[in-house]
Amino acid sequence: MNLKNQRLLTGQSFINGQFINANKQKTFSVTNPYDGKHIIDVADCSASETQSAITKANEAFVSWRQLTGTERSTILRRWFELQMENIDDLAMILTVEQGKPLAEAKGEIRYGASFVEWFAEEAKRAYGDTIPGHQRDKRIVVIKQPIGVVAAITPWNFPSAMITRKVAPALAAGCTVVIKPSELTPLSANALAVLAQDAGFPSGVLNIVNTSTPEKVGKELTANPTVRKLSFTGSTEVGKILLRQCSDTVKKVSLELGGNAPFIVFDDADINEAVEGAIAAKYRNAGQTCVCANRMFVQDGIYEEFTQRFTKAVQQLIIGSGLEKGVVIGPLIEEKAVQSIEFVVADAIDKGANLLTGGNRKDKDSLFFQPTVLTDVTPDMKVFIQEIFGPVAPIFKFETDEVVIALANDTPYGLAAYFYGRDYARIWRVAEALEYGMVGINTGMLSTPVAPFGGIKESGFGREGSKYGMDDYLDMKYLCWGGI
């Protein structure tokens, strides 16, 4: 890999300010999903290394929490600056291990770094309250204090941004962190650790435990009583397991889980803008995001026109290596991801869906799946029920507002929703009626560090980003002063 800063590519884990090998010298291989080629071997840690990381994080917490918000802010700000200075290398590492196009990878690095910049400022703003006393000789004060050691378990689809989105508020609040990245994409995490070291993070404040056995490391993170908070982004199935495991030690938990996002186009929408928004919401990262449009609902008056324009736009999307210029659709992350897409597409076609474009792998045995559009889709098909997590767009026809709201809400998930229209009365009614934590109105892009990101129902709880983003890493303490 041709990097300006070769130090950023490392297979070691990062504990107590040092890059280390696994205790038993075990490693696992990281490969490029584009061509399956070996990139590097990574230290394969276990519960014992995890225990060490937790212990060192707890020791570092004593001094890190005592720094002023401004002192923590200065270190975080330097970490942000280093990420931006090394954006080309960080994006290259991300593309090679994850597969997304290089331009999109750079966008992720900017997005992830923006959370560090944001929370570097918020570190100085963990405000408390003074409350009028309930008795004449009483005074009431509420202060906020860092919760302690935080465990962060992050996914492969945004291997850089999902770390910074969790770590930045935790560190800003005065917590220390142990990160378990996905075994599919550990290299972006390790590169961020190199830059954290360069930024002057004290030893033990940030730790990274890489492993090929996530269940064992995850159990240590959830069972260890020293860990006081768990933040997880991933599937609802795994999130439920982690939540149960955390219950024994009553940890504070934040979960950002699966989605089944509706994308609704009303008949008064600007069709060109709706098509552009749908492409962005559906095919970013080859459809491998939790907020990707999963089910597309188009009102009957514009159904044919929208479908034609949308399909034409989809057919122009270029598939290939993320390092090639002009490519917008990279490979899926692994073989079982492709097989899952093949299954839901076959199920839809078997039940009567019409395939307008795509529907197959780009090449036999490759991890590329063609951008796909299905029409004549019905709610009994898998594409309605489950999160697709791939470049497949099923389009449903609807007639009335009431019908589409009911269809959109007919899912246990509640992360993100999108709709296009111009009637402001309807915009308010629909936005309020949709059972989702985030709603994009006339836009297909939601994420920003200044707004609270998170879902409801089985999509999880807690919020990342915005002025609310540090709340999950702070304990509220009530002080009652008597005898005054």
Specify the CATH architecture of the domain 261-448.
3-Layer(aba) Sandwich (3.40)
Mean residue pLDDT of the chain comes to 97
Q: Give pLDDT tens digits for 211-229.
A: 999 999 999 999 999 999 9
For residues 349-376, give the mean pLDDT.
Answer: 95
Q: Is the pTM of this model over 0.85?
A: yes
In angstroms, the CA 200 to CA 185 distance is: 25
Question: Would you place residue 1 in the very low, low, confident or very high pLDDT band (cuts 50, 70, 90)?
Answer: confident
For residues 12-39, give the mean pLDDT.
Answer: 97
Which DSSP helix (H) or strand (E) runs through 358? none
Question: Would you place residue 297 in the very low, low, confident or very high pLDDT band (cuts 50, 70, 90)?
Answer: very high
pLDDT at 71: 98
From residue 407, alpha-carbon distances to 12, 383, 420, 424, 454 in Å are 47, 13, 16, 21, 21
pLDDT at 431 over 90: yes
From residue 301, alpha-carbon distances to 304, 353, 397 in Å are 8, 20, 9
- Bridge partners, 413 (sequence order): 457
Question: Would you place residue 5 in the very low, low, confident or very high pLDDT band (cuts 50, 70, 90)?
Answer: very high
Third-level CATH fold of 6-257+459-479? Aldehyde Dehydrogenase; Chain A, domain 1 (3.40.605)
For residues 126-153, give the mean pLDDT.
Answer: 97
pLDDT at 428 over 90: yes
Identity of the residue numbered 91: A
Domain spans of the chain? 6-257+459-479, 261-448
For residues 287-294, give the mean pLDDT.
Answer: 97
DSSP letter assigned to residue 456? E
pLDDT at 365: 83
Q: Give pLDDT tens digits for 118-139.
A: 999 999 999 999 999 999 999 9
pLDDT at 363: 87
Residue 198: other Cβ atoms inside 10 A: 15
Q: Where are the alpha helices (DSSP H) in 44-160?
A: 47-64, 69-85, 87-98, 102-122
Comparing CA positions, the residue from 119, 207, 113, 208 lying closest to residue 158 is: 113
Question: Would you place residue 253 in the very low, low, confident or very high pLDDT band (cuts 50, 70, 90)?
Answer: very high
pLDDT at 241: 98
Residues with a known catalytic role: 256, 290
pLDDT at 218: 97
pLDDT at 370 over 90: yes
- For the chain, report the end-to-end CA distance as a whole number of angstroms: 67
Q: Give pLDDT tens digits for 449-464.
A: 999 999 999 999 999 9
Q: Give pLDDT tens digits for 156-200.
A: 999 999 999 999 999 999 999 999 999 999 999 999 999 999 999
List the structure tokens of 389.
């997590």
Which DSSP helix (H) or strand (E) runs through 289? none
For residues 285-289, give the mean pLDDT.
Answer: 97
Pairing of strands 293-299, 261-265: parallel
For residues 470-476, give the mean pLDDT.
Answer: 97
pLDDT at 364: 84
pLDDT at 423: 97
Q: Give pLDDT tens digits for 55-100.
A: 999 999 999 999 999 999 999 999 999 999 999 999 999 999 999 9
pLDDT at 188: 98
